[in-house]
Amino acid sequence: MCDISTDYCISYIDKKNYNIYNTNGDIMDKQEKLNKLYKECINELNSININIEKSRKTKTEIEIRINTRSKKRYGCCKKISKDNFQIEVSEWVMDLNEDIIKNTIMHELIHCMPRCNNHGEYFKKYAELINEKLGYNISRTGNKERDFSKSNLEYKEKEIKYNYIIICENCNQNFYRQRIKRGFSRKYRCGKCGGKFKIIKL
Ligand SMILES: [Zn+2]
Ligand SMILES: [Zn+2]
C-alpha cells in the first residue's frame, strides 16, 4: 500500500518551473507529487459529499502509483477485488500541468465508484457533477496535443515507419502498411475497382 497520509500542507509550488517542494525544501519526486495531488482530489470530492472510501458496505481501498511503461494512455484503474482498486497514472502525464494530472486522477477515481467500471451512464453522471462543482474537465479520453501545449511542452507523435506500399494496378489506389499478410496480392482485390494489387517494398 502506498502512503497517502503524509502531510504536505506546508508544501508550496514554484510557479516558474513547476517543481513542488516538500517540507524539507527538496524537490518532490513524481510519486510524492502524485500522492499529494491524489490527496487533494480526495479532499475536493469530500467537499461535495462524494466519499469513495465509504461508497460500499466495506471500506474501499485505493492504491495509486506511477506507470513508467505506458506511452499511450493517461492512466488506468484496475479492480483488484470488489473493494480494492489500483490506480496508475502514466509517468509522462506527471510532466504536464497539475490540473491535467488531477483530471487524470479524478477520471480514474470515478472508476472506483460502484457501477463506474466503464464510461457509461454512472461514470458520466459523476464526471458532469465534478466538472460542474469543482471546475474539472473530465472526459472519456484525453487530448495529448492540447494538454502538451497547455503545459508548454512539445508534443511529438511517434512516427510510424511503413515498409510496404500496396498499389492497385488498375486504378492506382494505394495504401501504406508496416506488415503484409502472406499471399496478400493473390487473396485480395481492389475494393474500388476489383483490380489486382502490386506490392512494393519501401
Ligand atoms: Zn476511463
Ligand atoms: Zn483499383
Q: How far from 181 is each of 166, 176, 184, CA to CA, in Å?
A: 12, 13, 6
pLDDT tens-place string over residues 156-196: 776 677 888 899 999 988 888 888 888 888 999 988 899 99
Expressed in angstroms and rounded, the spacing between residue 174 Cα and the centre of ligand 2 is 8
Is there a single domain that holds both residue 108 and residue 171?
A: no
Cell of 75: 492512466
Is there a single domain that holds both residue 173 and residue 138?
A: no
Specify if 159 maps to a domain. no
CB atoms within 10 A of CB 122: 15
pLDDT on residue 17? 43
Is there a single domain that holds both residue 137 and residue 78?
A: yes
What ligand is nearest to the CA atom of residue 73?
1
Report the percentage of the chain scoring pLDDT > 70: 85
Expressed in angstroms and rounded, the spacing between residue 86 Cα and the centre of ligand 1 is 13
Number of domains in the chain: 2
Expressed in angstroms and rounded, the spacing between residue 83 Cα and the centre of ligand 1 is 18
pLDDT tens-place string over residues 33-85: 999 999 999 999 999 999 998 989 999 999 999 988 888 889 999 998 888 99
What ligand is nearest to the CA atom of residue 196?
2
pTM of the full structure: 0.67
pLDDT on residue 45? 97
HSE, CB side, 13 Å, CA atoms: give it for residue 11. Answer: 20
Expressed in angstroms and rounded, the spacing between residue 189 Cα and the centre of ligand 2 is 8
Specify if 6 maps to a domain. no
Expressed in angstroms and rounded, the spacing between residue 109 Cα and the centre of ligand 1 is 9
What ligand is nearest to the CA atom of residue 191?
2
Expressed in angstroms and rounded, the spacing between residue 198 Cα and the centre of ligand 2 is 11
Is there a single domain that holds both residue 45 and residue 101?
A: yes
Expressed in angstroms and rounded, the spacing between residue 162 Cα and the centre of ligand 2 is 21
3-class SS at 20?
strand
Is there a single domain that holds both residue 38 and residue 104?
A: yes
Of 184, 183, 178, 181, which is closest to residue 164 (Cα–Cα)?
178
Is there a single domain that holds both residue 42 and residue 89?
A: yes
What ligand is nearest to the CA atom of residue 112?
1
Higher pLDDT, 25 or 183: 183
Least confident of 1-5, 86-90, 148-152, 159-163: 1-5
What ligand is nearest to the CA atom of residue 172?
2
Do 71 and 135 contact (CB within 8 A), yes or no? no
Residues whose beta carbons lie less than 5 angstroms from ion ligand 2? 168, 170-171, 173, 190, 192-193, 195
What CATH number should be reported for the domain holding residue 114?
Answer: 3.30.2010.10
